[in-house]
Amino acid sequence: MKRTNQFALSLYWFAIELHWAGMLGAALQAQIARFIPASAIGTAAAVLGGIGALLSIASQLGAGRASDVARRRIPFVVAGTLLDILALFAFAVSPSFTAVVVTFACVEIAFNIGAGPYQALIPDRIPRQTQGRASGVMGLYRFAGTAAGLLLARVLVKQPGPLVSQHAFTSSLVWFAAAISGVLVVALIVTLVGVRDRDVEVPAPQPLFAPWPMRGSFVALIVARAFASGGLYLILPFLAFYLRFALHVGAYLKTSLDLLLVMVVFSVAGTLAAGALGDRYSKKTIIYWSFGFLAIGALSLAGLSRVQPVWPLGILLGAAWGAYYSVDWALACNLLPIGRAGALMAVWNIGASGPQVAALVIGGLLVDRVGAATGNPGAGYRALFILITALIGAAAAALTFVREPRGGMTPDTP
């Protein structure tokens, strides 16, 4: 296997995470707050995220399998990136909530046309015994992209309100879309130059659902990832509203972005630690520890009455998320059969995309119903963190059915 340019292979992950951190962390919430009254914010988030995520699953699976058959990944990355840029600008200038739903769905579809084939590049090009280290490097780029996306949103995206004109709000989103587009184009160029389809022979496509020895473990890992990702997607889209309604923070959007940045910074520490250990020790054990800390952090947030303790809990959650995502990706790559990476990585990624549907629908309806029943909007957002704790517990239970291959560790692993 020809030596892979790790920088070129990983930089597009930076762009991916910048894109979604800014969109889910601020832009989407700002558009919801602009058009929807407080009593229906949860329902609106459910509609918006549910439709977008369902379409993203279909587009990612279709593009991933098509790249297996074509035995080429890069053309799909190019097409998806260019279509996504068009959709981002359409989202920025949406004149109504209906337009926001339609354009956000277009963003999901276009983006995942490129993301499905792109994520198969690591199993295509990196030997199994070093995929833990490669996933750790990838994790650094991902969390750096998340931090950059949150900073970008903090600088550019305005919080809607009586003092912000419609023109100023729309202009902020247009500049935001332009900045994301610029990063996507640069990352795409680096990928085109440094990761070429002809550098590595993509394995001939195999029947998608034919059995292989690790199929049961792969399915169990998808289930575990679905529960864990459901917890994440209950944090990211609703954190600003948790601060607003449960902790009564005035500048809730700015505070939310600051807190997410703290989480991302400490996610890097978790990624570094897990990446260094993931090729030598059991990935499942590292994931179990991560789940334990995530459950403790989420349950603690449910009971807070003031904002100050949020910050140390954000540090704990960030480090645990970083360790989990770094090792989880490597474990999935270890389980893959040859010749089906594009489609099966798309199937595996349903464990992240699918929960966008369930988490936003269930979480959105939960916050509205609990808020209405108690007469306290903040109670619904506290209930979210109890639900997150339960989801992490379910993820840990599903992980017990994963049989970890020894081929994903270095030979001297005990």
**Domain CATH code at residue 252:** 1.20.1250.20
The two tokens of residue 206 are 């195999």
Residue 40 lies in a domain: yes
- pLDDT, tens digit (0-9, with 9 covering 90-100), for 306-349: 888 899 999 999 999 888 987 887 788 778 776 565 567 767 76
Residue 195 lies in a domain: yes
Amino acid 325: pLDDT: 81
Torsion of CA 172, 174, 175, 180, to 10 degrees: 120
Tally Cβ neighbours within 10 Å of residue 10.
27
Amino acid 274: pLDDT: 78
Range of the domain at 306: 6-408
Residue 413 lies in a domain: no
Residue 278 lies in a domain: yes
249 band by pLDDT with thresholds 50, 70 and 90: confident
Amino acid 4: pLDDT: 58
The two tokens of residue 24 are 């889910």
26 band by pLDDT with thresholds 50, 70 and 90: confident
pLDDT at 414 over 50: no
The two tokens of residue 232 are 């994440």
pLDDT at 360 over 90: no
Total count of domains within the chain: 1
Look-up of token digits 């030997």: 127
